[in-house]
Amino acid sequence: MNDVLSAKMVSQGLLPSGSLLDSLIHVSKEVDSMEKLPFVHTRNVSSMIRRVKLLSSLFEEMQEAGTPLPPSSILCLTELFSVIRRVKVLIQDCKDGSSLWSLIQLEFISNQFYVLVKEMGRALEILPLSLLNVTSDIREQVELLHKQAKRAELLIDPRELQRREQVKQAMTNNSLHNKKNKGFIDFAKVEEILSSIGLRTPSDYDGEISKLEAEAQNQAGTGGLIIVSNINNLVSLVSYSKSMIFRDGGSGRNEEDCKPLSSFLYSKVHDSSSSSQSMTPNVPDEFRCPISLDLMRDPVIVSSGHTYDRTSIAQWINSGHHTCPKSGQRLIHTALIPNYALKSLVQQWCYDNNVPVNEPTTEGNNNKKKNSKEEAIDQISANKAAADAVKMTAEFLVGKLATGSADIQRQAAYELRLLAKTGMVNRSVIAEVGAIPFLVTLLGSQDSRIQEHAVTTLFNLSIFDNNKILIMAAGAVDSIVEVLESGKTMEARENAAASIYSLSMVDELKVQIGGRARAIPALVGLLKEGTSIGKKDAASALFNLAVYNPNKVSIVKAGAVPVLVELLMDDKAGITDDALAVLALLLGCSEGLQEIRNSRALVPLLIDLMRFGSVKGKENSITLLLGLCKEEGEVVARRLLANPRSIPSLQSLAADGSLRARRKADALLRLLNRCCSQPHHSL
């Protein structure tokens, strides 16, 4: 009986392939062998590994006994396999992801560990220990583990809470630095905090920045604008901290290689002069004004993009000059834009070296000169000046896109990508100066970086709703689909999918994009081949397109259903909810229903997801099961009734699920009840 039941459950996809005990031992060993623990959530991770290690001893002893498993143990062991597998994924995510972001999400991730501990306790509750051929020591340890799991409470390390608050304070100070020039960051304290979460060398900082940028990309376009803003604030904090903490030793990077064409936002002037008139000792060259060679206490940017001290450049302009002292370029306006980024660096340097922030470095009458010239020079308000400067910068960069060499086009496209990344005003201005047609042309570039920057800039621009129509009017869709199909880098393909996702938020654009014969097959192709981020972008775009009924048939014909079902079984992909949402929409057309009905592995997966999925995942799982039961009737109903986990899961959701889940669970239970009450029902 045991062998028959086990074989049946394996065939339905409820058990891992191969021997159940072998699979349990293997996944337990994988968790136990995780060497380097993450720097955040250490207590939760180590506690979970200890629990899994104890269970591993149980599984090994059961295997060594060589006796058949009691039928009543199959369900418990299957649930334990599911829990341990998710434990492995969660710990791996903590190790591979951003430590700072894990710290910010302290409660959320700690709650995930707590939920897994509780599920482990519920599984052990139905384990028939008395029927297992194990030693008394193992039995006592498992019973103790069960009791501990039942009593377990949410574990949040107070030290990590304190670190998180310190990081938030540093983020606030960093934001004030960049926006209002208020407050200082205690870099000794910041270095201590970052060191405690594993950031100790310049390469550690670079790696953390890359992980944060990847997380921001993952969150972009999903409606979490506040989340993306917080992540970008963390990137800014880590970058700024790295520049200050390692400014003496350096990281070996050539800063000049990264210097933008236009130094508008974060200009640092490099002067080759070897002498200085400043009384302040050891002033870094990048902090000296190119005119006076003194410390720039109030750095401003002129229209050429170069930075000077306000007093010096004001005196230069008032003496009748209309050119940039450093480049000789004619100044198209005389507005002086504060360089907040450089000013915050100068203030921090003054603070670290006990140099008065407001003390002039030249003769005392400089203050009088400054006060007498400021009103004459600042001809427009700060806000309008900033907007005009953005427009000027965008025009300058678009000109480089149109006439520059490949190297210049690559740099210009990259800077437009950064400029379009934040702020609706920036996105509007970039479109107004005519950037979109040039970016569409660059999608066909043979240079992989130019293509990648162009498609990413278009994605960033498309976040502003007015630009969606402009991008479509420029004939961008066919070029974006070309990049999606055969882009020169995977990042370019993924951002092409993100662009289609963003554009398809507009109803009439769903029709236009779905009408392109290659668009939907290209998205399904990325769904198969992309990274986790790419698959998520592709699934999100397919969901938007599937809202328009005629597109559903095209998605089914492109072979999306088998790929989506396969992704439900792929823990690493991490797009279970997205795949379920698309399948639930495809159920609305006859072709989609037939394809979903043909998937024999789907029903057992949906039963598992009703128990272990997210709120949305549970809702969509019930939607799919209810739709299949209504259309296919008794066949699917019998498969549900034959599964020992389906009815308890439905009853649990009917009692405690979301409003939508409760409604659909009630409907499905009534349908199954009618099936059971039919006279010819054989179960």
Q: What is the pLDDT of residue 125?
A: 86
Cα angle vertex 337, ends 333, 343, to 5°?
150
Q: Strands 337-338, 307-309: parallel, antiparallel or unpaired by DSSP?
A: unpaired
The one-letter code for the residue type at 483 is V
Q: What is the pLDDT of residue 257?
A: 37
Nearest Cα residue to 307 out of 298, 299, 295: 299
Question: 657 burial class (0-12, 13-18, 19+ CB within 10 angstroms)?
Answer: buried
CA distance linking residue 285 with residue 302, whole number of Å: 19
User: Tens of pLDDT along 24-59?
Assistant: 888 888 888 886 778 888 888 888 998 898 898 888
Q: What is the pLDDT of residue 386?
A: 62
The alpha carbons of the chain give a radius of gyration, in whole angstroms, of: 31
Q: What is the pLDDT of residue 637?
A: 74
Q: Which two tokens stand for residue 356?
A: 């008065």
Q: What is the pLDDT of residue 482?
A: 92
Ramachandran region of residue 296, left (φ > 0), alpha (ψ -120 to 50) or beta? beta
Note whether 181 and 344 are within 8 A (CB). Answer: yes
Residues in the chain: 683
Q: Which residues on neighbouring strands pair with residue 300, listed in sequence order?
A: 308, 338
Buried b (16+ CB within 10 A) or exposed e, 615-651: ebbbbbbbbbbbbbbeeeeeebbbbbbebebbeebbe
Q: What is the pLDDT of residue 250?
A: 42
Provide block-wise average pLDDT over 10 residues at a time, the chain (683 residues): 41 48 88 81 88 88 84 85 91 88 87 90 86 85 88 86 83 60 64 84 87 76 58 79 67 37 34 37 77 84 81 79 78 71 78 70 45 44 60 83 84 88 82 88 91 93 88 89 91 92 88 89 90 88 90 90 84 79 86 82 80 80 80 69 78 80 81 66 41
Number of CB atoms found within 10 A of residue 255's CB: 12
Q: What is the pLDDT of residue 333?
A: 67
Q: What is the pLDDT of residue 389?
A: 73
Q: What is the pLDDT of residue 385?
A: 59
Buried b (16+ CB within 10 A) or exposed e, 370-386: beebeeebbeeeeeebb
Spatial strand order in the sheet of 337-338: 307-309, 299-301, 337-338
* Full-model pTM: 0.46
